[in-house]
């Protein structure tokens, strides 16, 4: 039999297989995740979790979908954090430093505590990409924040109440709209999709086993 470990979900004790992620362990324990979480028909980043190992005082932030359980782990999920999302028309805004001053002026109140970076569930250098946003360096901000899943844990720890994921989203949109080189091959693929020319390819992929799909993905040709 698989080795079992002891975990505590919302203070209640459970024995679960050690190979499970926190999300899988919650389902194993009888919790039904029917809304919210990205890999359960919701939003990626919605399974933000706080945990600590018994006897340790450090609280860790993580995503329940990608973090394995360990023995004597205390677990509590985080509610959705209310990020400030400013309304703008990406067709009308321009990639200048002034747009950040106008939409997200709180980024200039950053005290450099680095709590956002320490809390990030993806291990991103959050304080650095906010510094790029302050200077209007949107290409660098977009690259540094690329793996953000907008879980909001960084913002929950910020004394300046910065909505880091929304700042990063604006930077990536500005970069994609105005700064990044135009992708002709992307236009061609979109046209093929609209004309239904890749339906057979999609059906053939759907029939392949998961391991073969992973192999194709890992060895795909990446356009320059």
**Same domain assignment for residues 71 and 111:** no
Give domain status of residue 87, yes or no.
no
Of 8, 158, 34, which is closest to residue 84 (Cα–Cα)? 158
**Tens-place pLDDT, residues 158-189:** 999 999 999 999 999 999 999 999 888 889 99
Q: 161 is in which domain, residue-wise? A: 97-179
Q: Model-level pTM?
A: 0.81
Task: Express each pLDDT in 23-54 by its tens digit.
Answer: 999 999 999 887 667 787 777 888 899 999 99
Which stretches of the chain are assigned E, i.e. beta strand?
Answer: 4-9, 12-17, 48-53, 60-63, 73-77
Closest CA to 129 of 87, 183, 170, 70: 170
- Only one residue has tokens 């799909």, namely 213
Residue carrying the six token digits 């979900």: 9
Please tell me whether residues 148 and 201 are part of one structural domain: no
Q: What is the pLDDT of residues 73-109, one digit of tens each?
A: 999 988 777 889 999 999 999 999 999 999 999 999 9
Q: How many domains is the chain built from?
A: 3
Q: What is the pLDDT of residue 62?
A: 93
| Same domain assignment for residues 199 and 175 | no
């Amino acid at each position: 039999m698989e080795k079992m470990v002891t975990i505590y979900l919302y203070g209640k004790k459970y024995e679960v297989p050690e190979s499970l992620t926190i999300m899988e362990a919650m389902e194993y324990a009888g919790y039904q995740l029917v809304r919210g979480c990205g890999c359960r028909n919701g939003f990626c980043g919605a399974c933000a979790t706080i945990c600590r190992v018994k006897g340790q005082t450090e609280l860790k932030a993580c995503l329940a979908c990608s973090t394995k359980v360990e023995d004597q782990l205390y677990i509590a999920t985080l509610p959705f954090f209310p990020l400030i999302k400013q309304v703008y028309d990406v067709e009308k805004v321009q990639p200048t430093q002034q747009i950040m001053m106008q939409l997200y002026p709180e980024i200039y109140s950053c005290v450099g505590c680095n709590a956002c970076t320490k809390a990030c569930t993806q291990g991103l250098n959050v304080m650095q990409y906010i510094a790029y946003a302050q200077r209007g360096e949107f290409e660098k901000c977009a690259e540094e924040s690329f793996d953000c899943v907008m879980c909001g844990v960084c913002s929950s720890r910020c004394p300046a109440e910065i909505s880091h994921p929304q700042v990063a989203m604006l930077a990536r949109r500005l970069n994609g709209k105005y700064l990044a080189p135009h992708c002709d091959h992307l236009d061609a693929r979109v046209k093929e999709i609209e004309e239904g020319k890749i339906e057979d390819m999609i059906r053939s992929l759907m029939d392949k086993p998961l391991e073969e799909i992973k192999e194709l993905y890992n060895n795909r040709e990446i356009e320059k």
